Amino acid sequence: MANVVVIGGGLAGLPIAYELRHLLPSEHTVTLISSESKFTFIPGLIQVALGLKPLEHVQLDLARLAQRHHLNWVPGKVTALDPQTHSITVEGEKTIEYDYVAIATGASLAFDQIPGLGPHGGYTQSVCTPDHSLTAHQAWLDLLKNPGPIVVGAAPGAGCFGPAYEFALMADHELRRRGLRDQVPITYVTPEPYAGHLGVSKVKNARELTANLMQKQGITVIENAAITAVDKHTITLDDGQQLPFNYSMVLPAFRGAKFIQAAPGLGDAKGFIPTLPTQRHPDFPNIYAAGVSIKLAQPDKTRVPIGLPKSGQMSEAMATAVAHNIAVELGAIKSPLQVPTLDALCFAEFGDTGIAYIAAPVLPDPETGKRKHSYAVRGPWVVWVKAAFEEYFMVKMRTGVGMPWFEKLGLRVIFGLQMLKPTTTNYEQTTVSP
């Protein structure tokens, strides 16, 4: 019988494993490999960094989840994947053979592209990992004792901008609550062509709502900016401008995991994995990928390079498609292959208000340049919805549920988003015998 391996226990990986276990008969093994011992709801790390919730609130123990939901748990970092021998090497020289593998590793962080960037050996903070959020929180406590300028932003090549906006505006809210805001000027620095772009152009109202909110809160915005260097108290831009800071949180550009970069033909030059619309690798028919690890090209030409965002909700849809299509390949279900639509929904929390950004799909039609839905709306309800979704998602991960039918129905009815669609196109030219 088949051994289906999932690499990564995050927002895409764990739902893939759960969906596979639900769809596949018990004689098939679902193996989960993760370098992290805990599942982390990454969007919650901003609140951890600002001291608004403990890290434990957004984490679950993967070993316990695997045991409870009948997954073969393998802790450790993948150091090599050989598509020819269908084998995976985990640190410690442990080798695992697979019939199918789903890669959902997320990304590695390219702090090394800019001197002085990052919390390890650099001078800026990050909210990309649990460890980073704890380091960022300690630096935040130091700032509260010694108030001074804050610089928040993203490095050239970054594709995830929502957390930077959230951090800047939530920090603003917290400082006002503490009576310290007049001592802490805040600057937002971004490679985006305009505030509110977020890596996705032509979203109705996004530019106006975002820029107006930043202006209202007194946050200085520097657009089309490339950070070139960071020292202990100064960020330098490519135009020579220098920004002093007592605290800085800058999101880095992403790369694919090292083992992807090391496997010939598996990924592109940056280690991102090309996929067919079914999430299957075009050259290796028993390799699938989902989430941040896949290759999605940014269609916009911008002065400073930016990536295309892959939201958590997009990752969920990809994860569901991966599990469904592997189950079809194994003959466990008789159903058309599924394709994620890449409809994107982002709830951005900004203190006592928020903005929901909708781009359906995130990539516009190549012929018309249009989307089915594309708009942004603002209100305090966004904060409530985001908090409710976090609790809902954590319940799903505790109970072993991927993307249930009522979640798909709710997204379609409320926001007009269709997460998946069946396809009759024969993308899969090669069959795999487990």
**How much is the pLDDT for 426?**
66
Whether 322 contacts 101, CB under 8 Å: no
**What is the distance between the alpha carbons of residues 332 and 321, in angstroms, rounded to a whole number?**
14
| pLDDT for residue 429 is more than 80 | no
Strand positions, DSSP E, 266-369: 287-289, 337-340, 344-349, 354-360
To which H or E segment does residue 314 belong? Answer: helix 312-329
| pLDDT for residue 6 is more than 50 | yes
Q: What is the pLDDT of residues 149-194, one digit of tens each?
A: 999 999 999 988 999 999 999 999 999 999 999 999 999 999 999 9
Strand positions, DSSP E, 76-121: 78-82, 87-90, 94-97, 100-103, 108-109
**How much is the pLDDT for 432?**
42
**Predicted confidence band at 428 (pLDDT cuts at 50, 70, 90)?**
low
**Predicted confidence band at 36 (pLDDT cuts at 50, 70, 90)?**
very high
- Choose among 278, 360, 355, 283: nearest CA to 323: 278
Calculate Rg over the CA atoms of the chain: 21
The average confidence (pLDDT) of the chain is 93
Active site residues: 160, 346
Residues above pLDDT 90, as percent of the chain: 83
**What is the distance between the alpha carbons of residues 377 and 200, in angstroms, rounded to a whole number?**
15
Whether 339 contacts 319, CB under 8 Å: no
Q: What is the pLDDT of residues 341-384, one digit of tens each?
A: 999 889 999 999 999 999 989 988 878 878 988 999 999 999 99
**How much is the pLDDT for 166?**
97
Q: Find the length of the chain.
A: 434
Instruction: Give the DSSP per-residue string, 65-79.
Output: HHHHTT-EEEES-EE
| pLDDT for residue 431 is more than 70 | no
**Predicted confidence band at 434 (pLDDT cuts at 50, 70, 90)?**
very low
Q: How far is CA 308 from CA 12, 198, 254, 298, in A?
A: 17, 8, 11, 5
Whether 357 contacts 204, CB under 8 Å: no
Q: In what order do the strands lie in the sheet with 234-237?
A: 227-230, 234-237, 242-244
Burial of 239 (0-12, 13-18, 19+ CB in 10 A): exposed
All structural domains of the chain with their residue ranges: 113-251
Q: What pTM was estimated for this model as a whole?
A: 0.94
Adjacent-strand bridge partners of 156: none
What superfamily in CATH does domain 113-251 come from? FAD/NAD(P)-binding domain (3.50.50.60)
| pLDDT for residue 259 is more than 80 | yes
**How much is the pLDDT for 423?**
85
Phi and psi based region of residue 330 (left: phi greater than 0; alpha: psi -120 to 50; beta: remaining): alpha
| pLDDT for residue 411 is more than 70 | yes
**3 state DSSP class of 131:** helix
**How much is the pLDDT for 427?**
60
CB atoms within 10 A of CB 24: 20
